[in-house]
Amino acid sequence: MVTLSRGRHAAILDAAAKDGLLANKTGRITGRVSPALVDRAKKATGIEADTALIEYALANLAVDDHFGEALVKARGTVDPALTLDF
């Protein structure tokens, strides 16, 4: 299991806040989830409160920059003759 770095956690919440996604906290979510899933997510993130965990998870999805998809899409687009000097 990989533990989330505090820097990444803060960066995600900062990005969500800058986009105005953390203001006006009047919404409510309810649902049934596996306690094992919640426990593992809390251990991985270091987040202890259920509300903070849900907020982080939703923010992580909402501010995703889709870097992985862009990287895969760019595969093979760099000229093989390019000199990288290393």
pLDDT tens per residue, range 51-69 = 999 999 999 999 987 777 8
Contact 38, 26 (CB under 8 A): no
Percentage with pLDDT > 70 across the chain: 95
pTM reported for the whole predicted model: 0.71
Contact criterion met (CB below 8 Å) for 35 and 53: no
Q: Does residue 84 register a pLDDT over 60?
A: yes
Nearest 5°: phi and psi at 22?
Answer: -105, 0
Helical H runs in the chain? 6-18, 35-45, 50-62, 67-74
Model pLDDT for residues 35-52, shown as the tens digit of each residue: 999 999 999 999 999 999
Phi, psi for residue 11 in degrees, rounded to 5: -65, -40
What's the confidence (pLDDT) of residue 72? 86
